[in-house]
Chain A
Amino acid sequence: MSTPVVEVTDLHVSFPGVHAVRGVSLAVHPGECVAVVGESGSGKSVTARTLLGLTGEEATVTAGRLAIEGVDASGFPERQWRSIRGRKIGYVLQDALVSLDSLRPVGKEIAETLKLHRAAPRHEIPGRVIDLLTEVGVPEPEVRAKQYPHELSGGLRQRALIASAIACGPRLLIADEPTTALDVTVQAQILRLLAERKRAGQALLLISHDLAVVAELADRILVMKDGVVVEDGTAAQVLGAPGHPYTKSLLDAIPGPGSRNTVAGDVVIRAEGLVKTFKGRTAVDGVSFELRAGQTLGVVGESGSGKTTTARLVLGLLQPDRGTVEVDRRQTQVVYQDPLSSFDPRFSVRRILDEALEVGGTPRRERVKRSVELLEQVGLDDSVLDRRPLKLSGGQRQRVAIARALAPRPRVIVCDEPVSALDVSIQAQVLDLLTGLQAELGVAYLFISHHLGVVHHVSDHVLVLKDGRAVESGDAHQIFTAPADPYTQELLAAVPGGHYDQADPSRRALPGREQHHRLVRPQVG
């Protein structure tokens, strides 16, 4: 086999107090795509940064072997690392809005790589920048080069970021969560772009929390947990016949169609012809729906589709310009995407729950007992009572938020992206908690998410929004298996993993799809 572009064996990286990477070995050969998958804190990004000598001053790095194009790099001084970065290895981070310098035009950012490595004579650089933008599929490159990141769409920004990483034609491109902040249709485009690079012979190292995203591209997949590689094999092996229980749990954690057998009660929310305009922009345009007791209505759409505005109309935080919402607001509670900002920073869990119980009319002396019951209901114990939310983990915070919502015994809970900020396995636990509570208490959910898999998992009925309009609504199973509207079809086709891609059977089938048919993109937003 040819010399690997990068090769590292028995890599250990530790920071003061944390042993972040323990004995990782990996190699990427020319034209190959290797993916490293893991949840936050698994050490996947640290591993990738080690390959560029960018672990920071506080890190201690040891490796059996660390070689770049066959040359031992373990003793490289900073100067030599700088000649590697950008020239031999390109690096793409997530969310170009913050990964590109917001105060400079994107063309300058791309030119910077060329200038740093003197890859082209000065007068040729503007031309090269245009060529690079064209190469990554940016239309009107001359105009775009002069624009600032905030003036470009998410997809174009991400392409520009990729262009700056491949400007000097590096042998290896490392992409660290390259699609994480993107809408599902844009994500599909960027994945296609990376696939093109790979076909053109570019070696790729993909870092992701998302098995589904890497499934389409990777030849080899490494699964990391707590700094250790727990699974290492070809994509087919890892996805089709995972050897390690953690890989299995990751695959199982990916939400897909759930088994719903809820019984519909009376109508608890009826919205008709809702219209809401902000400064001339119509955020919600004639949306109608109905939610029945004990059931879940999933509202799905990309950013700017009007999902959150709809939720706020239901909650009475906004007044509709036209249309009506019939809902008993005393019986309605809410769970937000970012639970932390929804808690008063000075309040402990005890006070948070106490306040919610007070609103629900629970007598003062019963509140502590009820608080403990609520915590048990959401899978926490009374040890968190006197802690502030800031000191809790993301999953625990969301559980406290759910407990708070349950405290006044509501009939409806509006869930606004309740799992988008959580790791995949935590996401699955919180979703299970929500469905379990529904079965136990008969509470209805208005469930808002951009994530098709999550919505499919929890919903009885689905409402698909695009630019403030409802493009399709109806039975969840019906919509996910036989979408009628072209936009819904496009959305489903864009979901990586290919589960919903019935329109195009020629696309590469995901190995092991039969066993793990629930492979739908979860996303950390």
Chain B
Amino acid sequence: MIRRILTRLGTSVLVLWGAVTVSFTALHLTPGNVVDVLIGSSIVTPEVRAQIIADYGLDEPLFVQYATYLGRVLRGDLGQSYQLHEPVASAIGAQLGPSLQLAGASLLVAVVVSTTLAILTARRRPWIRGLSSNLELIGVSIPTFWTAILLLTIFSFQLGWFPAVGADGLAALVLPVIAVALPITTMLTQMMREGLELTLEQPFVLTARTRGMSDLGVRLRHALRHVLVPTVTLIGWLVGLTVGAMVAVEQIFSRQGIGQLTLTAVGGKDLPVVMGVVLLTAVLYVVVNIVVDVLYLLIDPRLRGAT
């Protein structure tokens, strides 16, 4: 148990360190003078240039530069965006709220909808399962940005049911959440249904039925828990996918958020911001994985004894 936690912590540190290194490498691989790369397409005074060289230790050997950069990141200093004229950390901080809202709401909707669908369709009549799995296939195949455009056109422009722009209020959240949640929901439903179908074949399910438990009762009280371990794994993995999907969705719905920020930064070659976002997502990955590990232990007692 303790060994498990230590291993996870060690891996986490390694992942974060790796992300920092990837960022640093990206900075130096970019063609052109590093100072120009950091500045991107904005225009700065010679004083600022000198400041950047000093901040990043660009007149030092590469190794020292790396150490300097590592040290700064450790102190929580992600650098300065010369295009936004503010520190990267505060730029990210300002956009974090709406993005978390969208991501959280999407994951919640996806989990609730897919659990319900999986429980209702697992081991049902062939046409129900066929319909459901065909819908899932389509759901996985539709590119998120296209879904978003379709939703926007139909429900905002044509029908006028939901606002087309902005991040204010619940109504503005509905369409982006549907767009982000759709592929996640279909993937989750598919996996959970297959998992449930395997579980429902297990002898302990028959045993529960012979005690007088109803079919739905068995699904909820016994079978569901058995598919939770793979489900949690998949959700942990899908968090990364969600972040990716949000880039396009935020742009289409003109929502504020990390996605928009990143996209603008990529367009303007604002590398400090991109590097900041990369580090942020690495932190997210580490946090999600620790949560996933803890959930494993809560779900499955057999894992508690294991190292």
A contacts B: CB pair < 8 Å = yes
* Those of A235-263 within 8 Å (CB) of chain B: none
> Chain B residues near A89 (CB, 8 Å)?
210
> With A93-B206, A98-B202 given, is the CB distance from A85 to B211 under 8 Å?
yes
B251-307 with Cβ < 8 A to chain A: 299-302
Stretch at the interface among A112-120, A205-213, A440-448, A516-524: A112-120
Q: Which of A99-107, A313-321, A394-402, A404-412 participates in binding chain B?
A: A99-107
The residues in B between 209 and 253 inclusive whose CB is less than 8 angstroms from any CB of A are: 209-214, 222, 225-226
A100 to B222: give the CA distance in the assembly, Å. 10
Is the C-beta of A165 less than 8 angstroms from some C-beta in chain B? yes
**A86 contact set on B, CB distance < 8 A:** 210-212
Q: Which of A448-500 contact B (CB under 8 A)?
A: none
A94 to B206, CA, bound (A): 11
Q: Which of these, A148, A161, A165, contacts B302 with CB under 8 Å?
A: A148
| Bound complex: CA A133 to CA B210 (Å) | 19
A-B contact count (CB 8 A): 68
Cβ of A156 within 8 Å of any chain B Cβ, yes or no, is no
Nearest CB of chain B from residue A219's CB, rounded to whole Å: 23
Asked if A83 is at the interface (CB within 8 A of a chain B CB), the reply is yes
Q: How large is the interface on A (under 10, 10 to 19, 20 to 34, 35 or more residues)?
A: 20 to 34
Answer whether residue B204 sits at the interface, using C-beta atoms and an 8 A cutoff.
yes
Q: Check if B211 sits within 8 Å of A54, measured CB to CB.
A: no
B residues within 8 A CB of A93?
203, 206-207
Residue pair A99, B213 in contact (C-beta under 8 Å):
no
Complex-state Cα separation, A165 to B299, whole angstroms: 25
Closest to B302 in A: A150
Judged by a CB distance under 8 angstroms, whether B208 is at the interface is yes
Q: Which residue of B lies closest to A85 (CB)?
A: B212
Bound complex: CA A103 to CA B130 (Å): 31
Cβ-defined contact, B300 with A113, below 8 A = no
In chain A between 89 and 141, which residues have their CB closer than 8 angstroms to a CB of chain B?
Answer: 89-91, 93-95, 98-104, 112-113, 116-117
Contact A112 B208 (CB under 8 A): yes
Find the B residue at minimum CB distance from A53: B209
Q: Nearest CB to that of B221 among chain A residues?
A: A112
Of chain B, the residue at the smallest CB distance from A91 is: B210
B212 contacts which of A82, A98, A161 (Cβ < 8 Å)? A82
Q: Which residues of A contact B202 (CB under 8 A)?
A: 98
A148 to chain B: closest residue by CB: B301
Least CB distance, A184 to chain B, in whole angstroms: 22
Q: A164's contact among B207, B226, B299, B300, by CB below 8 Å, is which?
A: B207
Complex Cα distance, B226 from A103, in Å, reads: 8
Q: A144 to chain B: which residues have CB within 8 Å? A: none
Instruction: Decide yes or no whether A52 CB sits under 8 A from chain B.
Output: yes
Cα A169 to Cα B67 in complex, Å, equals 73
Interface residues of B (CB under 8 A from A): 202-204, 206-214, 222, 225-226, 299-302
Q: For the A-B complex with A82-B212, A165-B210 known, give 18 more contacts whose Cβ atoms are closer than 8 Å.
A: A54-B210, A82-B214, A85-B210, A85-B211, A86-B212, A87-B212, A91-B207, A98-B202, A100-B207, A101-B208, A102-B204, A102-B226, A103-B226, A103-B299, A116-B212, A116-B213, A150-B301, A165-B211
